[in-house]
């Protein structure tokens, strides 16, 4: 098992990465010295695979758990489902020392974290992420929340978990497309922070695609360490945390304008990262050899790297980019790479430069 600490002084917590952790859930929670009643929030897919093991482990350690299952998918990240979950917590008489366990992907993590943050003005929660994206990204850092009709993640709270358990065994049942989508975030960490990790991903790609637990445990722990380090320096996204948005400016715009139902988040940010890398070559002189290596890794992982748009669609894309949170004072701000492992944020990029790299 590998251990990563998220350094947030009094709110510091451990991320544990390894095999068989789900069956140790009860033992791990017992160490936190919380109350004995807890809610396990999960979704309809994850429930089928893992709820029984989780509930048995908790009961075996003397906890009194109950299960709250929501429909799988992004639609459950909404206030109506938050209210249903809160009602269930109230009807089971959860109290201040009781706790919530998020068992699932990023949707369940964001939803259950927000439920925990708001019930009785905040009760403890534990993350058990079961998708690759959730293990390397959404379960770390304390962003919780849900969507509104007007847009994604518009309601939420910064609320840190007490513990994150990444059980590598849970990744075995993940559909291939979801798994590969998570790889886009992993490659991102290599580009923004760690050239050695990037080279390791190039070397170990076949083992990663086979979901080899030994290789995965090292890589997932390293990604959590990078995110933990960035979050530790900038918990609420005032500055350096922006580097985690590498590839997300164009990625989100593609997702918002054309992607829903068509592209997964990882697929959209794969396209966004390759575009950002090409902008980096033009603006910061990122060497062509590195641009090629990056593109090759995304393609080798099975991710899309281009998205063809006509003139009208391009207009829609640019409008979406201007609406994005990362715009300040009308300029679209980008995170760009100087070399693999080193990025800078707050870079102004012109409309024509974006048009050029997107091939529009
Ligand atoms: N809080 C953050 O910092 C942060 C960061 C990135 C993304 N997010 C959020 O995360 C969400 C996306 O997360 P996601 O990609 O994990 O999607 P998800 O939670 O919808 O999971 C993807 C699909 O896989 C299924 N699934 C989950 N684990 C499984 C397993 N082990 N075996 C089989 N099926 C399984 C789910 O039921 C779902 O159908 C988005 O809402 C996004 O906004 C949050
Ligand atoms: Zn992302």
Nearest CA to ligand 1 atom 20: 73
Which atom of ligand 1 is nearest to 265's Cα?
Answer: 15
Active-site residue, from 16, 227, 278, 333 = 227
Is 248 in the active site?
yes
> Ligand 1, from 107, 170, 236: best to mutate by most atoms within 8 Å of Cβ?
107
Compute, in angstroms, the gap from residue 270 CA to the centroid of ligand 2: 10
Find, among 228, 197, 166, the residue nearest to 22 by Cα.
Answer: 166
The greatest distance separating any two alpha carbons of the chain, rounded to the nearest whole angstrom, comes to: 62
Contacts of 40 (CB under 8 A, 6+ apart): 51, 54, 55, 58, 65, 66, 67, 68, 101, 103
How high is the pLDDT of residue 351? Answer: 84
Is 255 in the active site?
no
Is 265 in the active site?
yes
Compute, in angstroms, the gap from residue 138 CA to the centroid of ligand 2: 8
Which atom of ligand 1 is nearest to 107's Cα?
Answer: 19
How high is the pLDDT of residue 75? Answer: 95
The backbone torsions φ and ψ at residue 145, rounded to the nearest 5 degrees and listed phi first, read 155, 180
How high is the pLDDT of residue 317? Answer: 87
Is 143 in the active site?
yes
Helices 106-118 and 79-91: angle between axes, nearest 10 degrees: 60
How high is the pLDDT of residue 329? Answer: 61
Residue 66's alpha-carbon distances to 82, 90, 109, in angstroms, are 16, 12, 17
- Measured CA to CA, the distance from residue 243 to residue 231 in angstroms comes to 11
- Measured CA to CA, the distance from residue 133 to residue 183 in angstroms comes to 8
Which-ligand-closest: CA of 139? 1
- Rg of the chain over Cα atoms, rounded to whole angstroms, equals 20
Which atom of ligand 1 is nearest to 49's Cα?
Answer: 32
How high is the pLDDT of residue 237? Answer: 67
How high is the pLDDT of residue 328? Answer: 58
Contacts of 120 (CB under 8 A, 6+ apart): 94, 95, 96
Is 152 in the active site?
no
> Ligand 1, from 42, 70, 125, 131: best to mutate by most atoms within 8 Å of Cβ?
131
Q: What does each of the 360 residues of the chain score in pLDDT, given as a tens digit?
A: 999 999 888 889 999 999 999 999 999 999 999 999 999 999 999 999 999 999 999 999 999 999 999 999 999 999 999 999 999 999 999 999 999 999 999 999 999 999 999 999 999 999 999 999 999 999 999 999 999 988 889 999 999 999 999 999 999 999 999 999 999 999 999 999 999 999 999 999 999 999 999 999 999 999 999 999 998 887 666 678 899 999 999 999 998 887 667 899 999 999 999 999 999 999 999 999 999 999 999 999 999 999 888 888 888 888 888 876 555 566 678 999 999 999 999 998 988 898 888 876
194, 341 Cβ separation under 8 angstroms: yes
- Outline where 302-360 has alpha helix (H): 311-323, 351-358
Active-site residue, from 2, 237, 240, 339 = 237
């Amino acid at each position: 098992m590998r251990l990563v600490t998220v350094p947030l002084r009094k709110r510091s917590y451990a991320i544990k990465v390894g095999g068989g952790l789900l069956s140790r859930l009860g033992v791990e929670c017992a160490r936190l010295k919380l109350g004995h009643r807890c809610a396990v929030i999960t979704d309809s897919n994850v429930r089928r695979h893992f709820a029984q093991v989780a509930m048995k482990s908790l009961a075996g350690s003397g906890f009194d758990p109950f299960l709250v299952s929501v429909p799988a998918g992004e639609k459950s990240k909404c206030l109506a489902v938050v209210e249903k979950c809160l009602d269930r917590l109230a009807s089971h008489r959860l109290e201040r020392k009781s706790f919530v366990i998020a068992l699932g992907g990023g949707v369940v993590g964001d939803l259950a974290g927000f439920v925990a943050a708001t019930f009785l003005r905040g009760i403890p929660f534990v993350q058990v992420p079961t998708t690759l994206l959730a293990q390397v990204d959404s379960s770390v850092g304390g962003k919780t929340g849900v969507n509104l009709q007007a847009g994604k993640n518009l309601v939420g709270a910064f609320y840190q978990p007490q513990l994150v358990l990444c059980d590598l065994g849970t990744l075995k049942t993940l559909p291939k497309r979801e798994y590969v989508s998570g790889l886009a975030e992993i490659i991102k960490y290599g580009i923004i922070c760690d050239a050695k990790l990037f080279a390791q991903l190039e070397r170990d790609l076949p083992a990663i695609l086979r979901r080899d637990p030994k290789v995965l445990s090292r890589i997932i722990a390293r990604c959590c360490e990078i995110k933990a380090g960035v979050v530790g320096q900038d918990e609420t996204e005032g500055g350096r945390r922006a580097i985690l948005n590498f590839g997300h400016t164009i990625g989100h715009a593609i997702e918002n304008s054309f992607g829903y139902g068509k592209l997964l988040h990882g697929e959209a940010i794969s396209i966004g990262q390759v575009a950002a890398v090409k902008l980096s070559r033009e603006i910061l002189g990122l060497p062509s050899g590195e641009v090629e290596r990056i593109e090759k890794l995304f393609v080798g992982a099975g991710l899309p790297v281009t998205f063809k748009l006509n003139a009208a669609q391009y207009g829609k894309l640019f409008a979406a980019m201007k609406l994005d949170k990362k715009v300040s004072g009308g300029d679209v701000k980008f995170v760009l790479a100087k070399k693999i492992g080193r990025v800078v944020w707050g870079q102004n990029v012109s409309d024509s430069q974006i048009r050029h790299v997107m091939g529009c």
